[in-house]
């Protein structure tokens, strides 16, 4: 709870900085776009967070997003949507089976997917941009609208957040997720079907990525095989970690995942509106993620901020 409060305080600080040091008119015009970005990124972050709680990881989210979209853009839209969602389930199940029953490391399986799906998407389209603008125009208008002054993307995120919260925090299946992430062997000896729930976690992660891919194309009304979904997996993992999920597994909350996503999106807005070079954006995000990882380790060891500062001081003193 203390970590979650600290992350929320950091989010509030970022919001205040934006209000203080940016043009109110510019901020007001960008606010709606910010909610749309949080909606798309938050969906993929929820999926990655559910997986991270079990101790797993998926590096192929962004590449799979591009592959699904270019593969199905020639189909009728309702059929394409169903195919994308079904593909998410199948690819997630495939990742889970390779990791659980074939004992291949999750890092290797999903890293191979990162290269394979992106390359397949570019090969299918010959690196050309598919012409889908007219086909998706009706969906573009609907999803880029709002209800009660809240973007449709954010409403969808809220709905998925409610479902993920119920699954993770209010069902026995969620408790199994935490148990597997905390101690997989102990979970196995206690009678939990570890392989099934690990596969289920990968299925949820890929399904949420599939939904995020649809939201991405509805937001931008275009698909670029070489860049669509680029680095989405890193933003999803970073958002979950910033929100309190431990990469060791066994820790995390859906509320924290949303807060972490909001922090990343606000950081991007602060960078852009402060006229900082775009090239520095990964630097800022990387530093923020590293600081969060250091804080996580310090809290795990029961250290206070004074102990962390003293430890850093000793390192530089030895040099």
Q: What is the pLDDT of residues 249-276, one digit of tens each?
A: 999 999 999 998 988 888 877 777 666 6
Lookup: tokens for 29: 């015009």
Please report the pLDDT score of residue 24 as a whole number: 58
Which of these, 116, 113, 128, 112, lies nearest to 225 by C-alpha position?
128
pLDDT tens per residue across span 36-87: 888 889 999 999 999 999 999 998 887 776 665 655 556 677 887 888 888 8
Please report the pLDDT score of residue 145 as a whole number: 81
Name the least confident of 39-48, 94-103, 205-214, 284-293.
284-293
Q: Greater confidence, 54 or 219?
A: 54
Q: What's the average model confidence in pLDDT over 101-128?
A: 86
Q: Greater confidence, 207 or 142?
A: 207
Relative orientation angle of helices 232-242 and 281-300, to the nearest 10 degrees: 40
What span, in angstroms and rounded, lies between the C-alpha atoms of 16 and 30?
15
Name the least confident of 61-70, 128-137, 265-274, 291-300.
128-137
Please report the pLDDT score of residue 12 as a whole number: 76
Q: What's the average model confidence in pLDDT over 131-136?
A: 60
DSSP string covering 218-257, please? HHHS---TTTTTTTHHHHHHHHHHHTT--TTSS---HHHH
Please report the pLDDT score of residue 157 as a whole number: 93
Strand partners for 147:
150
Q: How many CB atoms lie within 10 A of CB 120?
A: 16
Cβ atoms 118, 66 nearer than 8 A: yes
Judge whether residue 319 has pLDDT over 70: no
* DSSP 8-state code for residue 22: S
Q: What's the average model confidence in pLDDT over 217-244?
A: 80
Place of tokens 């919001």: 15
* CATH code of the domain made up of 25-303: 1.10.3470
Nearest 10 degrees: Cα torsion 5, 159, 167, 164: -50
Cβ atoms 244, 69 nearer than 8 A: no
Which of these, 285, 45, 234, 9, lies nearest to 157 by C-alpha position?
45
* φ and ψ of 304, to 5 deg: -95, 175
Q: What's the average model confidence in pLDDT over 87-113?
A: 93
What span, in angstroms and rounded, lies between the C-alpha atoms of 318 and 107?
35
Judge whether residue 293 has pLDDT over 90: no
Which of these, 239, 308, 268, lies nearest to 50 by C-alpha position?
239
What span, in angstroms and rounded, lies between the C-alpha atoms of 10 and 268?
15
Name the least confident of 50-54, 88-92, 131-135, 315-319.
315-319
pLDDT tens per residue across span 155-181: 999 999 999 999 999 999 999 999 999
pTM of this structure: 0.86
Mapped onto helix, strand or coil, the DSSP state of residue 276 is coil
Q: What's the average model confidence in pLDDT over 180-191?
A: 94
- Mean of all residue pLDDT scores within the chain: 80
Q: What's the average model confidence in pLDDT over 19-32?
A: 61
pLDDT band at 130 (very low <50, low <70, confident <90, very high): low
What span, in angstroms and rounded, lies between the C-alpha atoms of 119 and 124?
9
Strands (E) located in the chain: 146-147, 150-151
């Amino acid at each position: 709870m203390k970590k979650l409060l600290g992350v929320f305080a950091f989010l509030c600080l970022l919001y205040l900085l934006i209000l203080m040091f940016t043009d109110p008119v510019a901020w007001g015009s960008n606010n709606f776009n910010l909610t749309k970005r949080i909606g798309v990124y938050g969906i993929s972050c929820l999926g990655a967070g559910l997986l991270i709680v079990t101790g797993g990881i998926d590096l192929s989210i962004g590449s799979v997003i591009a592959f699904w979209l270019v593969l199905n853009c020639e189909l009728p839209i309702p059929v394409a949507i169903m195919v994308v969602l079904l593909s998410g389930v199948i690819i997630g199940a495939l990742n889970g089976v390779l990791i659980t029953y074939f004992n291949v490391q999750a890092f290797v399986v999903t890293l191979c997917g990162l290269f394979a799906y992106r390359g397949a998407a570019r090969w299918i389209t010959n690196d050309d941009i598919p012409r889908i603008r007219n086909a998706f125009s009706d969906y573009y208008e609907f999803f880029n609208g709002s209800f009660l002054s809240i973007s449709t993307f954010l409403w969808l995120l809220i709905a998925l957040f409610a479902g993920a919260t119920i699954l993770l925090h209010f069902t026995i299946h969620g408790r199994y997720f935490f148990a597997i992430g905390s101690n997989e062997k102990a979970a196995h000896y206690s009678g939990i079907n570890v392989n099934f729930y690990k596969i289920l976690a990968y299925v949820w992660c890929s399904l949420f990525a599939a939904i995020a891919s649809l939201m991405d194309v509805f937001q931008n009304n275009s698909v670029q095989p070489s860049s669509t979904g680029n680095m989405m997996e890193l933003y999803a993992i970073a958002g979950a970690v910033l929100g309190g999920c431990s990469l060791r597994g066994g820790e995390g909350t859906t509320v924290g995942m949303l807060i972490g996503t909001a922090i990343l999106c606000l950081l991007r807005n602060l960078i852009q509106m402060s006229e900082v070079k775009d090239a520095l954006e990964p630097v800022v995000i990387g530093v923020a993620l590293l600081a969060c990882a250091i804080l996580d380790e310090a809290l795990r060891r029961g250290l206070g901020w004074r102990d962390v500062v003293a430890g850093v001081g000793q390192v530089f003193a030895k040099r």
